[in-house]
């Protein structure tokens, strides 16, 4: 059962109980919650003068480039016949935009993806490598750091052109749409990766059943790819480089100590070394690189909320100042210029839709760019917190709890809203669907049931064989059989 259908069934059940929900006297209408987001996935240009984001205009979404504060008029690209899925700045004047559309190939309905080069003024749109069309053709593995409009694209061309089912790597100029093949496909290698200088370093080998089988690798000076001699670890658990440092040692995320943490990684053996960062309770999600892409400036993870542990002293001081001014976690740096002096900051609590702000750190104050919801703006709705309870077999479960505002928090109907995935997790963040239910008078609890991600390998593995089950499937790690439940 899907998340919405599941919640709907629970709501109906709650409505027929002896305790029924009554909407708040000043309940926000559903149309307000259902409105398209005002600003989606904003990204600051490298020079810090423009923002690219998907913007709602009269009920439709457009990719918009907005010059900041007197820099000129905004320009927009309509979604049209294809979906605009993602975008990123290549340099100050060009973006790469990932698009997709449904097609029929050999009698199968598929979702084909490709990229476009789009000028910042939206006057020029370039189809990239249009003569070689592929189903999976939007995997950008590297963007130049020197201001040129270049990137590397991993792309299969199984529809036409070279007719390669496995991806090759192309050097692309997004300002012309021209592409030059620099790495030819290798059978069963489906994913490629490059270092900060644009050298393609390794590819991941997958079998026909979708299981990782190993790697091919070469050093920074190029040459032939060689099959890596792997340890006894399963191929899907091999730590892969996130950053290639200038000293020749890579940085990777690995869970060998039970949680995803950050380690140095020796190449070409792909063995982990010194531990650089970890959290005692939560998995690390990502590492943030410096402008050159050659070292780490921050570690991202989701605790009760999403947060970044900054190593960059300037960004650390800025985040500390935001926490003191707005409250811990209520101001989040989400994008920055190449010199790290111009920032996009999302401001809002889990009970607020919030807004997007621009901050030139040479100045005292931030300037608001727009609201995530133009009706709600900064209005605080129902409070959100994190609680912990023990499941029937004693496993501690963390959950997000939302209590309807403006009333006593007792004898209220409750909706259990499990996340989808199931390889996913809920945390304290603004959720329009949860807030709508709270406006109707419901308590909403979002359990991070066993098998949820973010809590380490052991907790994740507790969910194996349990999702959607009705009977015990054998002993738990504690030696006792158990019935699956949301906890």
CATH of the domain at 442: 3.40.50.1820
CA–CA dist 181, 167 (Å, integer) = 11
SS3 per residue for the chain? CCHHHHHHHHHHHHHCCCCCCCCCCCCCCHHHHHCCCCEEEEEECCCCCEEEEEEEECCEEEEEEEECCCCCCCEEEECCCCEEEEEEECCCCEEEEEEEEEEEECCEEEEEEEEEEEECCCCCEEECCCCCCCCECCEEEEECCCCCCEEEEEECCCCCCCCCCCCEEEEEECCCCEEEEEECCCCCEEEEEECCCCCEEEEEEECCCCCEEEEEECCCCCCCCEECCCCCCCHHHCCCEEEECCCCCEEEEECCCCCCEEEEEECCCCEEEEEEECCCCCCEEEEEECCCCCCEEEEEEECCCEEEEECCHHHHHHHHHHHHHHCCCCEEEEEECCCCCEEEEEECCCCCCCEEEEEECCCCCCEEEEECCCCCCCCCCCCEEEEEEECCCCCEEEEEEECCCCCCCCCCCEEECCCCCCCCCCCCCCCHHHHHHHHCCCEEEEECCCCCCCCCHHHHHCCCCCCCCCCCCCECCCCCECCCCCC
Q: What's the total number of domains in the chain?
A: 2
Report pLDDT digits (tens) over 193-205. 999 999 999 999 8
Q: What is the mean pLDDT of the chain?
A: 87
> What is the CA 292 to chain-centroid distance, rounded?
22
φ/ψ bin of 451: left (φ > 0), alpha (ψ from -120 to 50), beta (otherwise): left
Highest-pLDDT range among 86-90, 102-106, 213-217: 86-90
CA–CA dist 409, 437 (Å, integer) = 15
What pLDDT was estimated at residue 130? 80
Q: Which domain holds residue 397?
A: 3-28+381-461
CA–CA dist 232, 282 (Å, integer) = 26
**Residues contacting residue 29 through CB under 8 Å, at least 6 positions apart:** none
Q: For strands 139-143 and 150-155, give the pairing.
A: antiparallel
What pLDDT was estimated at residue 162? 54
What pLDDT was estimated at residue 72? 78
144-156: average pLDDT? 95
Residue 449's φ and ψ, nearest 5 degrees, are: -60, 165
What pLDDT was estimated at residue 466? 78
Residue 360 lies in a domain: no
Residue 315 lies in a domain: no
345-366: average pLDDT? 94
* Band (105; pLDDT cuts 50, 70, 90): confident
Its sign, for the CA torsion 57, 373, 343, 140, is: negative
What pLDDT was estimated at residue 399? 98
* Band (233; pLDDT cuts 50, 70, 90): low
* Band (158; pLDDT cuts 50, 70, 90): low
* Band (16; pLDDT cuts 50, 70, 90): very low
What pLDDT was estimated at residue 18? 57
Per the document, the length of the chain is 487
First to last CA, the chain: 17
Residue 198 lies in a domain: no
Q: Is there a cis peptide before residue 268, judged by omega within 30 degrees of 0?
A: yes
What pLDDT was estimated at residue 128? 93
Q: Which residue has the higher pLDDT, 105 or 374?
A: 374
**Residues contacting residue 170 through CB under 8 Å, at least 6 positions apart:** 129, 152, 153, 155, 179, 180, 181, 182
**Residues contacting residue 440 through CB under 8 Å, at least 6 positions apart:** 21, 23, 24, 27, 404
What pLDDT was estimated at residue 478? 35
293-297: average pLDDT? 96
89/179 same-domain check? yes
Report pLDDT digits (tens) over 60-84. 899 999 999 877 788 998 877 789 9
Q: Which residue has the higher pLDDT, 312 or 235?
A: 312
What pLDDT was estimated at residue 133? 72
What pLDDT was estimated at residue 135? 76
CA–CA dist 373, 385 (Å, integer) = 22
What pLDDT was estimated at residue 14? 46
103/24 same-domain check? no
With 70 as the cut, is the pLDDT of residue 406 above it?
yes
21/90 same-domain check? no
Are 115 and 45 in contact by the 8 Å Cβ rule? The answer is no
Q: Which residues pair with 347 in a beta bridge?
A: 331, 355
What pLDDT was estimated at residue 469? 58
Least confident of 1-5, 332-336, 431-435: 1-5
Residue 144 lies in a domain: yes
Final residue in a domain of this structure, among 165, 185, 205: 185
**Residues contacting residue 219 through CB under 8 Å, at least 6 positions apart:** 201, 267, 268
Residue 156 lies in a domain: yes
CA–CA dist 171, 312 (Å, integer) = 31
Strand order in the sheet with 150-155: 139-143, 150-155, 168-173, 178-183
* Band (319; pLDDT cuts 50, 70, 90): very high
CA–CA dist 224, 203 (Å, integer) = 12
* Band (159; pLDDT cuts 50, 70, 90): low
Q: Which residues pair with 115 in a beta bridge?
A: 98
Report pLDDT digits (tens) over 356-401. 999 999 988 899 999 999 999 999 999 999 999 999 889 999 999 9
Report pLDDT digits (tens) over 461-482. 998 887 765 444 333 333 323 2
* Exposure letters 376-389 (e unless 16+ CB within 10 A, then b): bbeeebbebebeee
* Band (36; pLDDT cuts 50, 70, 90): very high
Q: Which residue has the higher pLDDT, 202 or 106?
A: 202
CA-CA distances (angstroms) from residue 193 to 15, 163, 342? 52, 22, 29
Residue 199 lies in a domain: no
23/94 same-domain check? no
* Band (123; pLDDT cuts 50, 70, 90): very high
What pLDDT was estimated at residue 118? 96
CA–CA dist 47, 291 (Å, integer) = 12
Final residue in a domain of this structure, among 164, 185, 206: 185
With 70 as the cut, is the pLDDT of residue 431 above it?
yes
90/22 same-domain check? no
222-241: average pLDDT? 77
Are 235 and 211 in contact by the 8 Å Cβ rule? The answer is yes
CA–CA dist 113, 120 (Å, integer) = 22
* Band (189; pLDDT cuts 50, 70, 90): very high
With 90 as the cut, is the pLDDT of residue 156 above it?
no
Residue 290 lies in a domain: no
Residue 258 lies in a domain: no
Query: pLDDT exceeding 70 applies to what percent of the chain?
Result: 89
């Amino acid at each position: 059962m899907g998340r919405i259908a599941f919640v709907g069934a629970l709501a109906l059940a709650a409505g027929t109980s002896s305790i029924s929900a009554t909407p708040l006297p000043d309940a926000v209408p559903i149309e307000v919650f259902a409105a398209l987001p005002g600003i989606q996935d904003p990204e600051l240009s490298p020079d810090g003068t423009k923002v690219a984001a998907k913007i709602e205009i009269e009920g439709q979404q457009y990719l918009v480039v907005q010059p900041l504060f007197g820099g000129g008029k905004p320009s927009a690209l309509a979604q049209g016949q294809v979906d605009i899925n993602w975008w990123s700045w290549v340099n100050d004047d060009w973006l790469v935009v990932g698009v997709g559309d449904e097609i029929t190939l050999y009698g199968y309905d598929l979702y084909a993806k490709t990229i476009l080069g789009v000028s910042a003024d939206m006057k020029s749109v370039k189809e990239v490598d249009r003569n070689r069309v592929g189903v999976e053709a939007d995997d950008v593995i590297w963007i130049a750091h020197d201001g040129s409009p270049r990137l590397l694209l991993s792309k299969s061309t199984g529809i036409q052109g070279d007719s390669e089912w496995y991806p090759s790597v192309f050097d692309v100029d997004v300002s012309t749409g021209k592409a030059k093949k620099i790495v030819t496909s290798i059978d069963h290698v489906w994913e490629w990766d490059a270092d900060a200088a644009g050298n393609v370093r390794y590819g991941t080998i997958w079998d026909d059943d979708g299981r990782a089988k190993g790697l091919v690798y070469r050093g920074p000076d190029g040459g032939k790819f060689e099959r890596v001699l792997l340890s006894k670890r399963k191929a899907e658990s091999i730590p892969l480089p996130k950053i290639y440092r200038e000293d020749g040692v890579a940085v990777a995320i690995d869970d060998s100590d039970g949680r995803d943490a950050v380690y140095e990684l020796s190449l070409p053996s792909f063995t982990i070394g010194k531990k650089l960062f970890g959290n005692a309770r939560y998995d690390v999600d990502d590492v943030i690189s410096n402008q050159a892409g050659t070292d780490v400036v921050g570690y991202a993870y989701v605790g009760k909320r999403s947060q970044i542990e900054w190593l960059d002293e300037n960004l650390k001081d800025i985040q500390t100042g935001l926490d003191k001014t707005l409250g811990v976690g209520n101001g989040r740096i989400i994008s920055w210029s190449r010199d790290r002096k111009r920032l996009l900051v999302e401001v809002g609590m889990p009970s607020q839709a919030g807004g997007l702000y621009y901050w030139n750190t040479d100045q005292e104050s931030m300037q608001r760019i727009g609201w995530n919801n133009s009706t709600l703006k900064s209005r605080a709705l129902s409070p959100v917190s994190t609680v912990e309870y023990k499941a029937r077999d004693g496993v501690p479960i963390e959950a997000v709890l939302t209590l309807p505002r403006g009333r006593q928090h007792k004898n209220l109907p409750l909706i259990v809203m499990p996340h989808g995935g199931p390889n996913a997790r809920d945390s304290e963040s603004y959720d329009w669907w949860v807030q709508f239910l709270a406006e109707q008078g419901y308590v909403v609890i979002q359990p991070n049931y066993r098998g949820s991600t973010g809590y380490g390998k052991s907790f994740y593995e507790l969910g194996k064989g349990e999702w959607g089950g009705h009977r015990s499937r054998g002993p738990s790690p504690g030696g006792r059989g158990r019935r699956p439940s949301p906890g």
